[in-house]
Amino acid sequence: MSLYTKLSDMRTPFISANWKMNKGIEETRAFFSEFVSLVKDAKSREIVVAPPFTSLHTAAGIAKDTNISIAAQNMHTNDSGAFTGEISPLMIKDAGCSHVILGHSERRQYFNETDHLINEKIKSARKHNIKVIFCIGETLQEREDGNTFNILGRQITEGLKDISPEGIVVAYEPVWAIGTGRTATPEQAQEAHASIRQKLREIFGDAAENTRILYGGSVTAENINRLMECGDIDGALVGGASLKPDSFAKIVNYDIK
């Protein structure tokens, strides 16, 4: 099978920004004031932006009635309670979010989030009809040890345990490529995405063919075309290159030639 054979025409490309801990409210307003017009004609793809919590309400207000959806970068499993400093699924919905990013490698690494906890968060999000961008990925050491597929398989199996495929987008982020300027080659990315698709078939059955799998890891306007040509790559989760409206718009408006 060719690296560039698309097996499904039913998977709408999905391009998401993850701003991480960047941009205050005024910076968010400035970004959207320019970005909205730059992507208004991108009707054939789904566009999502994930600002920090403090800017969610502002972003959602500006994005209303546009082709842009808003995601939170994390959430708690509980709807309310004595969890100082946490944000509940009901709160992110109230702020205007339709999506949430869960399982990001930085949450796993710096906040010790486990596959079990991520699974509970996904269940909570879906209970409230919040769509999930579910992140998985291996470290450089795990890749060099030949454990990439084992790690991805475990994260998928445990993270999606007892989860139905509706409202789930998977994002493959090789940890060694996040914010490093190193990007997996199209061949490496497609190989990983194909293995993810196969694991999803084991869990979701035929629905796996319509489950979108994103690539994340130093995605830029210069490499998005090549990545999006790969058969099992259905979009991108973009970090640093999503902080400027022009550079992110170029990624959203990619054109496969």
CA 169, 173, 178, 181 dihedral sign is negative
User: 197 to each of 93, 139, 232, how far by Cα in Å?
Assistant: 29, 20, 7
Note the pLDDT tens digit of each residue in 69-120: 999 999 999 999 999 999 999 999 999 999 999 999 999 999 999 999 999 9
Q: Give the domain ranges of the chain.
A: 14-24+45-252
Helices (H), the chain: 25-38, 56-63, 89-94, 105-110, 115-127, 140-144, 148-159, 186-204, 224-228, 245-252
Note the pLDDT tens digit of each residue in 121-168: 999 999 999 999 999 999 888 988 999 999 999 999 999 999 999 999
| pLDDT tops 80 at residue 7 | no
**Averaged pLDDT of the chain:** 94
CA 167, 82, 104, 246 dihedral sign is positive
User: Which pLDDT score, from 0 to 100, does residue 1 have?
Assistant: 42
Set 104, 113, 138, 229: catalytic member:
104
| Section 209-222 average pLDDT | 94
Task: Classify the phi-psi angles of 114: left when phi > 0, otherwise alpha if psi is within -120 to 50, otherwise beta.
Answer: beta
104 is annotated as an active-site residue: yes
Place 21 in a pLDDT band, splitting at 50, 70 and 90. very high
User: Which pLDDT score, from 0 to 100, does residue 257 have?
Assistant: 47
| pLDDT tops 90 at residue 183 | no
Place 182 in a pLDDT band, splitting at 50, 70 and 90. confident
User: Which pLDDT score, from 0 to 100, does residue 230 have?
Assistant: 95
Set 46, 173, 193, 229: catalytic member:
173
Please state which architecture CATH assigns to domain 14-24+45-252.
Alpha-Beta Barrel (3.20)
User: Which pLDDT score, from 0 to 100, does residue 8 have?
Assistant: 54
CB 122 within 8 A of CB 112: no
User: Which pLDDT score, from 0 to 100, does residue 2 have?
Assistant: 47
| Calpha distance 39→73 (Å, rounded) | 22
34 is annotated as an active-site residue: no
- Model pTM? 0.94
Of the candidates 37, 35, 120, the residue with the CA atom closest to the CA atom of residue 74: 120
